[in-house]
Amino acid sequence: MVVSIGSLESLLTNEEWVALIRHIGRGDKTALAVLYDATGPLVFGLVLMIVGDRITAEQITLDVYTAAWKTASTYDEGHGTPLTWLLSIARSKAMATFNSQAHSSSHRLKIEDGYSAADLTILDDNTGRLSPEHFENAGLALETMPAEEREVLEIAYYEGLSAGEIAGRLGRPPEEVKVQITKAMTNLLRPIVSGKRANA
Amino acid sequence: MRHDCPTHEIKEQAALYALGVLTHLEASAFESHIREGCEICRAELFKFERAAGMFALNAPQIKPPAYLIDLLQARIEKETAARTQSPENQFAVDQPFLTRALAHGRQIVAAIPWRLVSIRALPWAAASAFGVVSIMLLVALSSAHSASANQDHAIIEAKKQIEQMHGLVERATGRSKELAEIIAILGVPGVRQVQLVGEGPAASSRITLYMDDKSGLCIISADQLPVADGMVHHLWFVTPEGPKNAGTLQTDENGHAFLETSAEANFRNLNAACITLEPEGEVDHPTTRVLALGKITRSPRVHKQNSAATPDQPSDSEEAPPQHSQTDAPEGAEQRPRHAARQSGTTSIDNH
pLDDT in tens, B301-350: 444 444 333 333 333 433 334 343 333 333 333 333 333 333 333 223 33
Q: Do residues B332 and B305 make contact, with C-beta atoms less than 8 angstroms apart?
A: no
Q: Which residues 6+ apart lie within 8 Å of B266 measured at CB?
A: none
Query: Which of A165-174, B51-60, B200-209 is modeled with the greatest confidence?
Result: A165-174
Mean pLDDT of A127-142: 51
B249-269 pLDDT per residue, tens: 888 888 889 888 876 655 667
Chain A touched by B130 (CB under 8 Å): yes
**Residue A85 — pLDDT band, cuts 50, 70, 90?**
confident
Do B117 and A37 make contact, defined as CB atoms within 8 angstroms?
yes
What element of type H or E holds B170?
A: helix B135-186
Measure B148 CA to nearest chain A CA, in Å: 14
Higher-confidence residue of B241 and B152: namely B241
pLDDT digits (tens, 9 = 90+) for A95-112: 888 776 654 443 333 333
For residues B316 and B287, which has the higher predicted lDDT (pLDDT)? B287
Complete DSSP assignment for A92-130:
HHHHHHHHHHT--GGGS----S----TT--EE-TTTSBE
Triad B116, B118, B121: Cα angle to 5°: 115
Mean pLDDT of chain B: 68
Cα–Cα distance between B321 and B307 in angstroms, integer? Answer: 9
Question: What is the average per-residue pLDDT within B64-89?
Answer: 78
Digit-coded pLDDT (tens) for B101-160: 334 444 444 444 444 444 444 445 444 433 332 233 333 334 444 455 566 666 666 666
Residue window 57-86, chain B: list those with CB within 8 Å of chain A: 57-65, 68-69, 71-73, 75-76, 79-80, 83
Cα B130 to Cα B123: distance, rounded to the nearest angstrom? 9
Residue of B nearest to A109 (CA): B60
Strands B231-239 and B242-249: antiparallel
Q: Is B133 on the interface with A (CB under 8 A)?
A: no
> Is A199 at the interface with chain B, CB within 8 A?
no
ipTM value for the complex: 0.72
Which residue from A113, A51, A23, A162 is spatially nearest to B104, judged by alpha carbons?
A23
Query: What pLDDT shows up at residue B125?
Result: 45
pLDDT higher than threshold 50 for residue A166: yes
The per-residue pLDDT for range B175-205, each reduced to its tens digit, is 777 888 888 888 888 888 888 988 888 888 8
A200 has a pLDDT exceeding 80: no
DSSP annotation of B119: T
The pLDDT of residue A168 is 92
Residue-level pLDDT at B153? 67
Higher per-residue confidence, B169 vs B327: B169
What pLDDT score does A140 carry? 64
Q: What pLDDT shows up at residue B1? A: 65
Q: What is the DSSP string of B238-256?
A: EETTEEEEEEEE---TTS-
B10 neighbors B20 (Cβ within 8 angstroms): no
At A65, is the pLDDT very low, low, confident or very high (cuts 50, 70, 90)?
very high
The answer, yes or no, to whether residue A122 has pLDDT greater than 70, is no
The answer to whether the Cβ–Cβ distance between B64 and A40 falls below 8 Å is yes
CB contact, 8 Å: B25 with chain A? no
**In what side-by-side order are the strands of the sheet with B272-279?**
B242-249, B231-239, B272-279, B290-295, B192-198, B206-211, B217-223, B257-262
Label residue A70 by pLDDT band (50, 70, 90): very high
CA distance B276 to B348: 9
